[in-house]
Amino acid sequence: MEAVLAKYENQINVFSEFLEDLPDTDEPVWVLGECYNVKTEKTELLSDVHSRLWFTYRKKFSPIGGTGPSSDTGWGCMLRCGQMILAQALVCSQLGRAWRWRTEGGQPEEYHRILHCFLDRKDSCYSVHQMAQMGVGEGKSVGEWYGPNTVAQVLKKLALFDDWNSLAVYVSMDNTVVIEDIKKQCRQASRGSRLRPRPCGWGEPFASGETPEQACLHTHGNRATVCPHSQSQSRSDWRPLLLVIPLRLGINHINPVYIQALKECFKIPQSCGVLGGKPNLAYYFIGCVGEELIYLDPHTTQSAVESEAGSGVDDQSYHCLRSPRRMKITNLDPSVALGFFCKSEDDFDSWCSLVQQEIQMKRNLRMFELVENHPPHWPPFVPPTKPEVQTTGAEFIESSDKLSESEEEFEILNV
């Protein structure tokens, strides 16, 4: 009965389109780097919004930590927004930005595997259980409300345990993005014993300890053979990047000088959305139109979804079918976190160029700084690494102390 009511609640949102429709405007609508004309491309626009994974409050899941809360209603909205921005990065990495969800099903295996990462149970990598317990290491008790920076730090730590995606999560500090540090982190070798494709492109795997030169020798049989892909090998080793930039764009309200730059962020192709909202009320912002922001709202309580490992997920409640919600940009709390996804090094280089041209050079007061080299007065940058401890989902919190020890110097940078 609960499952029926949950689906019914979501389907009701479809009718809200008649109450809260998109504005009848000639202004372009931007959604995560894509531009739409609401008058001629409304169907495509809504399909894009409906395809974003929507994580909301859930109830009746197994108690967090065994004896903790079995619902995150009232306190987990920023955790759910964090899940949404990370899920968007995984979708772009595994399925591509052009992927669209279909209500009739038939989704690829990677899609269901992504959903499994976020199911509300202790052994899912990015579940509310893992996020709440990992947050203890950030000074947050289970059931306490998070801010954008805290949830970003939690996602950075949890990503270390996700060998399937090998996502590099970089969280900037002091309003500064350091290109050198990001490239150092994203060029790290794949973790564990994961196999990489041969640089020669023959499609045969080689062990992580084997050099590109050794791989070419194994394939071509002599040192004189020139691998046609050898020059691009260093760039193909890039780990997909989720770049999160926590900012404070004012004191009590957003400073108007930052508004245009914030809107520009949604126009960049690498846009992965923005975490923010109002005091103790978090939203996942995915676009803008005129002077309004478009967002997904996690403040709907649905029953937890059960699914066996390796099987498909009943995903109807993970997509918001209502017309996009909007709020005046001037009502935004100044504490936000910008998100960008760069699948390749060329993608990141393109992002750097766009930021310099469209956000920094055109603004008298910059939202954040983009610098080439690590500031000499900062402590050395140490890329985060997975702790040398055997652990599964329920034990992430038990290893958080060891994680802090192994990353102590790195964590100092991100306080």
Catalytic residue among 50, 72, 77, 129: 77
CA 84, CA 87: separation in Å to the nearest integer? Answer: 5
Contact 48, 349 (CB under 8 A): no
Listed residue (157, 141, 131) closest to 78, CA to CA: 131
Q: Is the dihedral of CA 169, 170, 175, 178 positive or negative?
A: negative
Instruction: Indicate if 77 belongs to the active site.
Output: yes
* Residue whose pair of structure tokens reads 């809260």 in the numeric block: 20
Q: What is the DSSP string of 231-272?
A: GGHHHHTPPPEEEEEEEE-BSSSB-GGGHHHHHHHTTSTTEE
Catalytic residue among 112, 299, 319, 374: 299
Listed residue (113, 123, 114) closest to 397, CA to CA: 123
Catalytic residue among 48, 72, 297, 315: 297
Instruction: Indicate if 299 belongs to the active site.
Output: yes
Angle separating helix axes 179-186 and 345-354, nearest 10 degrees: 160
Burial 240-250 (b: 16+ CB within 10 A, else e): bbbbbbbbebe
Instruction: Indicate if 50 belongs to the active site.
Output: no
3-state helix, strand, coil split of the chain in percent (to 5) is 40, 15, 45
CA 219, CA 202: separation in Å to the nearest integer? Answer: 8
Burial 281-303 (b: 16+ CB within 10 A, else e): ebbbbbbbbeebbbbbbbebbbb
Active site residues: 77, 297, 299
